C-alpha cells in the first residue's frame, strides 16, 4: 500500500485564492489589510522565511512592510517600534520573527504586540483563548494542519491523535486544536518512554521534533494520517522532514511530503490571520 499525499501546495492555492478575494473586497471598502514583519539579526533561515512572508502578501494583493534590525539592536528600540505599529491603523497584523538574539527577552517582546494584531497567535492572551475555546488568533503552523485535515475531510472526532513535540509554536497548540475537535490526544516529548508504543496507536500522528527522519514506517499505524512538521537540511543539501517519508508512505493512509506539505500552509494561515485582523 502507498499513502495518499496531503498536498499543502494545492490546499494553500485554494485558500489563498479565497483570501485574495477578501483582500480585494476590504481594499475596495477602504480598509486594505496590512502586515508588518519585524526581523532582528541575520539568521539566514529567518531571512528566507520573512522574505517569503512578504512575497506571499504581495501575491494576494496585501500590503506589507519588512522592518529589519541589526543583531546588536536594543530591545528598547524594537519595543518602541512595536508600540508604533500597535497604534498604526494601516497595520492589522504584526509578526516578530523568532528566534530573537540572545540579549532579547523574546516572550516580553511577543507580549508587547497588541493581542488583536498578534497574527502569529503567540501572545499569552491568544494562547489562553485557544486553551479555553475563546475566539482569538491561532498559531499558523498547527492551524494550517487543521485546515489540511479538513480539506481532505479526514475525521478527527474520536480518533487517537499523537503529537510529538510540545513547543508553544506547534506541539502544544496542535494538541489543543485536536482536543477542541474531540480527538483523544497524547503529547509525547523527548523524554517519552517507548515512543513507538504511542505512535503505533495514532490514527493521526503529528511529528514536530526537529530531528530528521526520526519516525519510520515501523512506528506508524497502518492507514494512519501522518503529518510531518519538520524541515531539516541534510548534509547533501536536500530537505527532509522529521518522518522517514519513504518507509512511512508504505504504511500510512495519508501523509504530508517535505517540502510541499505543512510548510506552505504556515504562510497561508499567516495571511488568513491578517485578513481576519483587518475584519475580513
Tell me 3's DSSP state.
P
Q: Quick one: which segment of 16-24, 61-69, 93-101, 199-207 binds ligand GUN (CB under 6 A)?
A: 93-101
CB of residue 78 to ligand GUN, shortest distance in Å? 13
- Out of 22, 117, 118, 120, pick the active-site residue: 120
Which of 15, 113, 140, 204 touches ligand GUN by CB under 6 A? 140
Which of 118, 120, 242, 244 touches ligand GUN by CB under 6 A? 120
Helix (H, G, I), strand (E, B) or coil at 220: coil
Nearer to ligand GUN, 46 or 250 (CB): 46
**Does residue number 22 form part of the binding site for ligand GUN (CB under 6 A)?**
no
Beta strands 204-207 and 254-255: pairing type? unpaired
> DSSP secondary structure string, 102-154?
TTS-HHHHHHHS-GGGBTT--SHHHHHHHHHT-S-PPPHHHHHHHHHHHHTT-
Q: Quick one: which segment of 80-88, 96-104, 111-119, 129-137 binds ligand GUN (CB under 6 A)?
A: 96-104
Yes or no: say if 111 and 154 are a contact pair by the CB < 8 Å rule.
no
Cβ atoms < 10 Å from Cβ of 88: 14
Which of 57, 95, 162, 269 touches ligand GUN by CB under 6 A? 95
CA distances from 276 to 33, 203, 207, 245 (A): 9, 31, 28, 34
Binding residues among 247-276 for ligand GUN as defined by CB under 6 A: 266
Label residue 121 left, alpha or beta by phi (over 0 means left) and psi (-120 to 50 means alpha): left
**Does residue number 56 form part of the binding site for ligand GUN (CB under 6 A)?**
no
Q: Which residue is nearest to ligand GUN (CB)?
A: 98
Residues that bind ligand GUN (CB under 6 A): 95-98, 120, 140-141, 169, 266
- Give catalytic residues, as residue numbers: 53, 97, 120
Amino acid at each position: 500500500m502507498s499513502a495518499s499525499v496531503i498536498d499543502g501546495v494545492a490546499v494553500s492555492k485554494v485558500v489563498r485564492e479565497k483570501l485574495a478575494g477578501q483582500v480585494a473586497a476590504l481594499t475596495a471598502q477602504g480598509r486594505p489589510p496590512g502586515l508588518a514583519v519585524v526581523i532582528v539579526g541575520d539568521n539566514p533561515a529567518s531571512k528566507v522565511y520573512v522574505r517569503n512572508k512578504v512575497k506571499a502578501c504581495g501575491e494576494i494583493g496585501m500590503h506589507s512592510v519588512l522592518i529589519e534590525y541589526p543583531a546588536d539592536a536594543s530591545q528598547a528600540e524594537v519595543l518602541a517600534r512595536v508600540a508604533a505599529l500597535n497604534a498604526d491603523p494601516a497595520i492589522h497584523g504584526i509578526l516578530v520573527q523568532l528566534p530573537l538574539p540572545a540579549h532579547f527577552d523574546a516572550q516580553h517582546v511577543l507580549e508587547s504586540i497588541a493581542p488583536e494584531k498578534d497574527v502569529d497567535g503567540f501572545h499569552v492572551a491568544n494562547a489562553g483563548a485557544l486553551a479555553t475555546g475563546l475566539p482569538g488568533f491561532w498559531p499558523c503552523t498547527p492551524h494550517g494542519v487543521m485546515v489540511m485535515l479538513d480539506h481532505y475531510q479526514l475525521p478527527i472526532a474520536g480518533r487517537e491523535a499523537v503529537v510529538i513535540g510540545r513547543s508553544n509554536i506547534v506541539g502544544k497548540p496542535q494538541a489543543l486544536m485536536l482536543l477542541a475537535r474531540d480527538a483523544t490526544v497524547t503529547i509525547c516529548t523527548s523524554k517519552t518512554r517507548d515512543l513507538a508504543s504511542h505512535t503505533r496507536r495514532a490514527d493521526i500522528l503529528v511529528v514536530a521534533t526537529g530531528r530528521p527522519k526520526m519516525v519510520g514506517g515501523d512506528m506508524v499505524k497502518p492507514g494512519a494520517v501522518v503529518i510531518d512538521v519538520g524541515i531539516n537540511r541534510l548534509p547533501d543539501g536536500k530537505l527532509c522532514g522529521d518522518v522517514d517519508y519513504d518507509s512511512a508512505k508504505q504504511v500510512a493512509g495519508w501523509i504530508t511530503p517535505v517540502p510541499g506539505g505543512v510548510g506552505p500552509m504556515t504562510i497561508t494561515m499567516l495571511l488568513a490571520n491578517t485578513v481576519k485582523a483587518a475584519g475580513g
